[in-house]
Amino acid sequence: AAGGEILVVESSRMGGTGELLLTGCIGDVMQESARAALTWIRSHTTQLKLDVGPDDNLLKLTDVHVHFPAGATRKDGPSAGLSVLVALASLFTGRLARADTAMSGELTLRGSVLPVGGVKEKVLAAHRSGLRRVILPARNEPDLVDVSPQAQRELSFVFVSTAEGCLREALEPEQESLEARAGEADGNDEGVGAHASLPVHLLARHLASRL
């Protein structure tokens, strides 16, 4: 890796047959990470308080689209697992993803968070971008020794070992999300369903190594 960068993960859903559409210039490993994140969501609908309806119709009759912009730059690796998880959880629960937070971490099907490489570069990318919080795997905490003292002072670090822990830290409380979405609707002259700019709650910020 030669430096780090912030990648935005966008997500949307529509009626369909339960398919997952992945777009952007991404490799096989990142595609697998996205599928693992959706599988975790589907197996934890009760915990996420999702009203799936009879026969799991919420997901069976819904297509999900996850997009990684900046498509000219190829992206790969397992570290986007947490970011895709947050984008999808935000999409289905309606809770906003925190705008001051970026994250990096590999997610397993059981919801464990595995360590990633390039922590120094990724943290510096968050610092340069003006973000205030970084979510990282718990097993990466020792890697902060390589991060500059200034970045450590000016950033808040949250270390997680499970998917549940990541979502607690990455998503806004439900009430605050409802109020923010109401404000978005009031300020949108085009109305709900119009082709307006993407609401922030459909985004997650992924800390990536620049290949």
Catalytic residue among 75, 83, 104, 122: 122
Helix, strand, coil in percent for the chain, rounding step 5: 40, 25, 35
24 vs 125: CA distance, rounded Å: 21
DSSP notation for 190-202: T-TTSS-PPPGGG
Which structure tokens are listed for 188?
């949108």
Catalytic residue among 79, 90, 104, 209: 79
The Cα diameter of the chain in Å comes to 53
Q: How far is CA 57 from the centre of its chain?
A: 24
37 vs 82: CA distance, rounded Å: 8
* 79 part of the active site: yes
**Is the CB of residue 11 less than 8 Å from the CB of residue 206?**
no
Show which residues are catalytic.
79, 122
